[in-house]
A = this chain, B = another copy of it.
């Protein structure tokens, strides 16, 4: 049996007339009769009672009509489903965010816009740290990761830089330098530095230490924060100072003051990462959307930077 037989059968059943059905199908009546006879032979029973004025469905024919309609509908549904899947309009994307990246307004904006454009793609977000997310990305557990470079084991991982912001020094509100516009890093040579575990993100960790060394001191490491974001409350609690990306500093700023650091300081970037060999159209669409929104945000980046800065300054 072929779908042709079912399509022809449904047409005849609906028209109750071979000639009209043939016209509707764009073929002639004799071949249509032949196809129906073939179907009847395979079914082992007559499907129509041929009468002088058209045809009537037999009991078996009535049953087949229902079934055939179901099948043809299912075939149509399958076709459009597959096409949509191929265009990346359906499916699932597992997205990982390294701690703190989603505090930059661009990240939720990308996810929001993607969800609006592709409402039938299920988005499953998770939060973790850069090292673990890269591992999970490579393992296929997630498809997209918002992470902070640099990171290791980048084999097969493609990245798109989305954000390049500077890092600010977070001070307790009562600190002597609170209220200043900026200071050199060396001004904090005697401060206790609050850092996240090195294993969480060795690249950033080492860059901070190296910057201190360049500024002529070896930082005193105090309390270890479980994640990058949680350094800020520890600073607020008076346990030391911390160097954090501007976007994070701009949000968790109760009881703390943020200060620009003068001179050659490491930047805090945010990258979107995905498997270079990922064939998923949904992922490609997501990356394209991220690129587009990043480009659109580029002209406004300075403005955003200024806004975050003034917001931070306003809270001193």
Interface of A with B (CB < 8 Å)? 1-4, 42-45, 49, 58-60, 63-64, 67-68, 70-71, 74-75, 77-79, 81-83, 85-87, 91, 279-282
Question: Which residues of chain B have C-beta atoms less than 8 A from A44's C-beta?
Answer: 83, 86
Question: Which residues of chain B have C-beta atoms less than 8 A from A91's C-beta?
Answer: 59
A82 near B2 (CB under 8 angstroms)? no
A58-B279, A279-B59 are contacts. A82–B45 as well, Cβ < 8 Å?
yes
Bound: A108/B86 CA distance, A: 61
Bound: A1/B43 CA distance, A: 21
Question: Which residues of chain B have C-beta atoms less than 8 A from A82's C-beta?
Answer: 43, 45, 60, 63-64, 67
Bound: A182/B85 CA distance, A: 87
A44-B83, A71-B74 are contacts. A49–B279 as well, Cβ < 8 Å?
yes
A86 near B2 (CB under 8 angstroms)? no
| Highest count of chain B CB atoms <10 Å: which of A4, A68, A75 | A75
15 contacts between A and B (CB under 8 A): A1-B75, A2-B4, A44-B83, A58-B86, A58-B279, A59-B91, A59-B281, A59-B282, A60-B82, A60-B85, A63-B82, A64-B82, A67-B81, A70-B78, A71-B75
Bound: A282/B58 CA distance, A: 13
Bound: A75/B74 CA distance, A: 11
A279: nearest residue on chain B (CB-CB)? B58
Question: A9 to chain B: closest CB distance in Å?
Answer: 11
A3-B3, A58-B279 are contacts. A63–B45 as well, Cβ < 8 Å?
no
Question: A87 to chain B: closest CB distance in Å?
Answer: 8
- From B43, B87, B280, give the contact of A86 (CB < 8 A): B43
Question: A221 to chain B: closest CB distance in Å?
Answer: 47
Bound: A58/B83 CA distance, A: 12
A46: nearest residue on chain B (CB-CB)? B86
Bound: A68/B77 CA distance, A: 11
B1 near A79 (CB under 8 angstroms)? yes
A5: nearest residue on chain B (CB-CB)? B3
Bound: A271/B140 CA distance, A: 74
Question: Which residues of chain B have C-beta atoms less than 8 A from A74's C-beta?
Answer: 67, 70-71, 74
Question: Which residues of chain B have C-beta atoms less than 8 A from A81's C-beta?
Answer: 63, 67
A1-B75, A45-B86, A63-B82 known; 10 other A-B pairs, CB under 8 Å? A1-B79, A44-B86, A45-B82, A59-B85, A59-B91, A63-B81, A64-B78, A64-B82, A67-B77, A67-B82
Bound: A279/B45 CA distance, A: 12
Bound: A32/B44 CA distance, A: 30
A67-B74, A71-B78, A81-B67 are contacts. A60–B86 as well, Cβ < 8 Å?
yes
Question: Which residues of chain B have C-beta atoms less than 8 A from A58's C-beta?
Answer: 86, 279
| Highest count of chain B CB atoms <10 Å: which of A43, A67, A82, A282 | A82
